[in-house]
Amino acid sequence: MKAYELKEAGSVDQLQIIEIAKPVATANEVVIKSKAISINPVDIKTRMGKSLYNEFKQNYSPIIIGWDVSGVIESVGESVTQFKPGDEVFGMINFPGHGKAYAEYVSAPASQIAKKPTNISHEEAAAATLAALTAYQILRNYIKTGDDILIQAGAGGVGHFAIQIAKIMGAHVRATASAKNTVFVKGLGADEVIDYTRQPFEDVVSNLDFVLDALGGDTLKRSVQIVKESGKIVSLPSGAIIDEINELAKSRNVEAIFQMVVSNGEDMQQIADWLETGKLKAEVSQVFTFGQLRDAHTAVETGRTRGKVVVKF
Ligand SMILES: NC(=O)c1ccc[n+]([C@@H]2O[C@H](COP(=O)([O-])OP(=O)(O)OC[C@H]3O[C@@H](n4cnc5c(N)ncnc54)[C@H](OP(=O)(O)O)[C@@H]3O)[C@@H](O)[C@H]2O)c1
């Protein structure tokens, strides 16, 4: 089968197609014939030598990145009872481990996937994996009905799922986006959209129960200041909560938290249920072919893509 090997840290040219053996399912695994995969900022960071790169370099050869997949089960291990060949499934595979999703076939623990809802495409299903799980795993820990919250980067992969999930959970949701995305973000159910290019968000919002920060840096620092006493802020980029942020948060009696998404089939099932009932929708703004995967990386690297970028087979 064809797979993309990450040869070295660097530009998209380091992603090169190789021919390797198809994976074989161990007892608790399934092998999925991929129909679509999605690309995340962590893929870009790892390709550039940050994030998971060093760990992968030490432990795996070839390095095959990618975690988000939707496809059809080809074979199942002897202990797998909940899935059978031919089932359409989706999930985030082995994150933060060696997911190996940039390939025509991928093996996945059966405990990490769910059946793909029949009302959505493989492209939409592949999109509703890492980003959707991140939003769900964080929001269920930190918000409750009636909370007044802000989602930074509401038009992004995590942000667009977070707005919808926070509305399902009964929060009052504000989100930031640039002018070109305000109609889109409003359509996701946001009660208020702040065009961060026209006015600093801290001029129009304060005293919040919770902020989901997708950006880190200066945005995170300014975001801490709009959370009320005893409120919480979760920052998504790893390493963003530096000492200065912790001190600022502590001085305001705000809790600043980093949480990493983890593969989980039960959580995927919740995502599947919401997708099936139409409560949750995946925005797929760009679709590339497997041969164009490097172009998909270049798009996500801009940090300005709407919803999700997907690669189809
Ligand atoms: N901790 C974890 O487990 C975890 C999980 C997932 C992601 N992450 C991290 O979280 C971050 C976000 O991930 P993502 O997938 O949501 O990213 P993404 O899809 O690449 O985000 C792109 C979006 O960001 C918006 N944006 C850019 N600058 C902005 C600003 N200053 N204010 C408001 N919006 C802005 C853009 O909207 P406009 O064009 O309208 O500006 C664009 O739609 C990444 O660093 C990622 O690595 C961490």
Per residue in 136-147, pLDDT tens? 999 999 999 999
Domain ranges of the chain: 2-128+282-312, 131-257
Helix (H) or strand (E) holding 251: helix 243-251
CA dihedral 234, 237, 242, 247 (to 10 degrees): -20
CA of 60 to the centre of ligand 1 (A): 28
Whole-number percent of the chain with pLDDT over 70: 100
214 with 156: CB under 8 angstroms?
A: yes
Q: How confident is the model at residue 40 (pLDDT cuts 50, 70, 90)?
A: very high
| CATH architecture observed for domain 2-128+282-312 | Alpha-Beta Complex (3.90)
Judge whether 2-128+282-312 and 131-257 match in fold.
Answer: no
CA 91 from chain center: how many Å?
Answer: 11
70 with 50: CB under 8 angstroms?
A: no
pLDDT of 281: 98
**Closest ligand 1 atom number to CA of residue 300:** 20
156 with 134: CB under 8 angstroms?
A: no
Q: What is the distance between the alpha carbons of residues 88 and 73, in angstroms, rounded to a whole number?
A: 6
**Closest ligand 1 atom number to CA of residue 177:** 40
pLDDT of 243: 97
CA of 22 to the centre of ligand 1 (A): 33
Q: What is the distance between the alpha carbons of residues 157 and 155, in angstroms, rounded to a whole number?
A: 7
Amino acid code (one letter) for 171: A
228 with 149: CB under 8 angstroms?
A: no
Q: 36: which strand partners?
A: 70, 312
Residue 3's nearest CA partner among 81, 112, 107 is: 107
**Closest ligand 1 atom number to CA of residue 261:** 3
Indicate the average pLDDT of the chain: 98
- Other beta carbons within 10 angstroms of residue 248's beta carbon come to 16
- Neighbouring residues of 237: CB distance < 8 A, sequence distance ≥ 6: 214, 215, 216
Domain 131-257 falls under CATH 3.40.50.720: yes
CA 84 from chain center: how many Å?
Answer: 27
pLDDT of 170: 98
CA of 157 to the centre of ligand 1 (A): 6
